[in-house]
Structure 1
Amino acid sequence: MLEKLKEFKPTSWSIDNKTSIYIVTIIITLAGILAYNRLQKENFPDIVIPTMMVITYYPGTSPTDMENLVTRPIEKQIKSLSGVKRVSSTSLQDASAITVEFNTDIDVADAKQKTKDAVDKAAPDLPTDLPKAPDVQEINFSEFPIMYVNLSGDYSAEKLKKYAEDLQDQIEGLPEITRVDIVGALNQEVQINVDMYKMQAAKVTFGDIERAIALENMTISGGSVTVGDMKRAVRVVGQYTDPNAIGNIVIKSATGGNIPLREIAEVVDGFEERQSYARLDNKPV
């Protein structure tokens, strides 16, 4: 008895119509490529994780009291909210910080409003002498850097900053990078430390010094001159490149005398006051 074989018609049709299958495959491939090219792309897509931070200040309070009086009452109300994924807190001297992470299906605006409502519910349990109400802030992860590059070495602060700026230019030249920030580097500045007694004896004011420096430290356009068939721009360059030359600026006193700045002030080529710090293994970078 011969065994009867079943025929799968789509397969048989595909075998008998190879050309049609090739054409359909090409059409699907082209449609996929076209759809991919039309997809919206971002170099740095926003990472939306609804996360809030509740910060409370209570001066003169120890970390233990901060936890018992402020952190726990607020945490209790926040944990009762729907959609909360994780709650973490830190109680410090004079301050409390609570981080609330919601599920990703929760809208950021709704998450912030829920957190504010929870803080309001906890208000009756908080100390009545708080300087101000707890502050609810949104944590925006799109503002966080994706990579840190530390630069260190046995160089002066000026040279190390120059290397950092060169590296910054090279990294920003990459098509995938939109911005690079330098942290921890000091900006160079020229400090003019005036001797008050000498300034008063010379009958000179701070305004006199400021005006004299401003008038000397500038570049002025002188128009243009024609040389043969060409026009050339003329500039009077007066901006200082050598800080020591600033000491030669002549200050006119109230009595009409002319006094070099170096006789009443010390000119120091230094750096501005540090606003940020960067460290690696407890060493400055």
Structure 2
Amino acid sequence: MNLSRIFILRPVATSLFMAAILLAGAVAYRQLPVSALPQVDYPTIQVLTFYPGASPDVMASSVTAPLERQFGQVPGLNQMTSTSSFGSSMITLQFALDLNIDVAEQEVQAAINAASTYLPRDLPNPPIYSKTNPADAPILTLALTSKTLPLSKVLDLAETRLAHKVSQLPGVGLVSISGGQKPAVRIQTNPTALASYGVGLEDLRAAVAQANVNQAKGNFDGARQAYTIGANDQLMSSEDYRPLIIAYRNGAPVRLSDVAAVIDDAENVKQAAWMNTAPAVILNIQRQPGTNIIGVVDRIEKLLPQLKASMPSSVQVSVLTDRTTTIRASVKDVQFELMLT
């Protein structure tokens, strides 16, 4: 039986059939997902541990090594990489693809509990773990820079004016901010003044901690009414700290300003992100699973002029990285091949 004879004898049906195939292909092309990586739930877990003041050698020997020994016994582990830096340790665990990520998460939690006895006793917080997916890498990275405003102010503008608007766009899953410096009050003690008043650093620390608390104050109970004591003892600026009384000597109060210089500063002056040679606040934008990555980036770029207009003129918003550059080139190649065939 000659298959082509059927189509030759029925030219109208053949034309309609070809038109249906062309229409179905056009509809299917519009529904094709566009992404840099396939939508796969990679069983990868990242464990972070912070130990302020510890050198990389101390982090590697006292934190990273005990955790690695316990993680090495977890079944289904394919690869383990670690990085020990000043005050922090990061361990990335990659499991077999056929392993359920929830099961791997439970195994990691059990390994952290087993390693807790070998970790430093003065560790501020236990290790933190989170599920990561290479396919969830940021699709667009924005950088906010300013030559006149401090990074703490730029961070506030990024959180209130930029991140909130971008996260409301369809297809945007997560907007994370890095590189900003949170405001803080820095107390720079004068050892000579402390020695003259007979005040130690521990006495100073205890007095400051005791005067700066935010906890329940209690309440008054009456026969017909009850009153809650609403008082906040938290100190917010350097001006509030300076008159703080830390001790009494010869019946006279010793104030914090007598033994230290109190200034408004950043919480961590060594933490910052950079765009080329300028300090910047970085916005990493991730998409929702299954959404068209090119469509999401196009909506963000369409909103950018409006967001830039709402920012002060001294703040510059720039596109640092765009993952759709290579994806757009791949899509154009596919379109060209489709036209040829």
Q: Of the two structures, which has the highest relative contact order with CA contacts closer than 8 Å and spacing of 6 or more?
A: 2
TM-score by length of 2: 0.39
